[in-house]
Amino acid sequence: MCGRTACTLAPDEVSRACLYRNRTGRRRQPRWRDGDADKYKPSYNKSPQSQSPVLLSQRHFDKNAPADECVLASMRWGLVPAWFRENDPNKMQYSTSNCRSENMLSKKSYKGPMIKGQRCVILADGFYEWKRQDKEKQPFFIYFPQSETVSEDKFKAQDNSEWTGWKLLTIAGLFDCWTPPSGGEPLYTYSVITVNASPNLQSIHHRMPAILDGEEEVRKWLDFGEVKSVDAMKLLQSKDILTFHPVSSLVNNSRNNSSDCVQPMDLNSKKEPKPTAGSKMMMSWLKSSTPTKRKEPETNEKNEESTKKLCKSPGALKQWLQGANKAPKSIYCIVRHEETGEIKQST
């Protein structure tokens, strides 16, 4: 399962962090689809129905574009199939935030997008997973191994040069485009593909997102013109390539959105954070980045007015990192998962 992620990069940083290679091996920097950079909001605590950065083939928007040319888009988490007939996407009775790789072709919601080549790559700093311990659940932050140090000058890299900041996870996904039957703007949504957990993650949870390892796997997954669905599905394997650390239960509430969500903690004391190479690199990067070029993560992505005020204040990112936000009351909803039929409570 994958029910919470983090993506704290600003739009221009996301573009630089996901350079890709086309069929000829040429390195390219994807641009944002018109207007989508403004829809995406950085966050330490993204939950389903939030907007996330997604990499996909430009041909999905322009039939004359090469299939191996990629573009960045902001899509809502939780796939709404094109055939859904209600005018309100929130009336979906099943959770489609995840789809199991082994069931994709037997589920109506995912079979169509897979056959049509509607494959995408979800980008994230990492994802959260909960390990059941007695009567409690301990959250963990899971991500690609990172370099130990980063110098401030490295963030001044030019277009198409090597990105030396936080290495983003590249997660395989499917997307669809839904238009309200009564008319209106089309809505692009996605689902995270999951596989059996890798050996080092099995103690936390039995499932994990399907990770695409390296530029070549990303290229093959996105190039639906050259790589057919049956071959693309071979990329969906458990990969023992991720690292993790325990984090605070602050992340349990999706309204909590600060760097405290990703800070490592010592499970023995549960007081003092225990830094790792990856966490040191993350905090070094956040502090050295230029605040004026970064978008401030929101406490609530739907509260646009308060976000504008926060971004206009001087030193907003610094204040965010140093301050501790009080956790508001939780809001719960009941959802039924399409794959398992399980009914559960979520925030």
Known catalytic residues? 2, 129
Residue type, 230: V
**CA pair distance 281, 17, nearest whole angstrom:** 15
Provide, for the chain, the percentages of residues in helix, strand and coil under a 3-state DSSP scheme, each rounded to the nearest 5: 25, 25, 50
Q: Is residue 180 within 8 Å of 87, Cβ to Cβ?
A: yes
Smallest CA-to-CA distance from 248 within 322, 325, 138 is with 138
Tally of CA atoms within 13 A in the half-sphere of 306 that contains its CB: 7
Residue 343 vs residues 93, 163, 168, 335, 340: alpha-carbon distances, Å: 11, 42, 32, 6, 9
Tell me the DSSP string of 3-21.
--EEE---HHHHHHHT-EE
**CA pair distance 212, 172, nearest whole angstrom:** 6
Q: Is residue 335 within 8 Å of 346, Cβ to Cβ?
A: yes
Q: Please give the structure tokens belonging to residue 58.
A: 């430009």
Phi-psi region of 55 (alpha: psi -120 to 50; beta: other; left: phi over 0): beta
Q: Please give the structure tokens belonging to residue 346.
A: 């979520």
Q: Is residue 2 within 8 Å of 208, Cβ to Cβ?
A: yes
**CA pair distance 114, 79, nearest whole angstrom:** 12
φ, ψ for residue 257, nearest 5 deg:
-145, 85
Burial class (CB in 10 A: 0-12, 13-18, 19+), 155: middle
**CA pair distance 37, 136, nearest whole angstrom:** 38
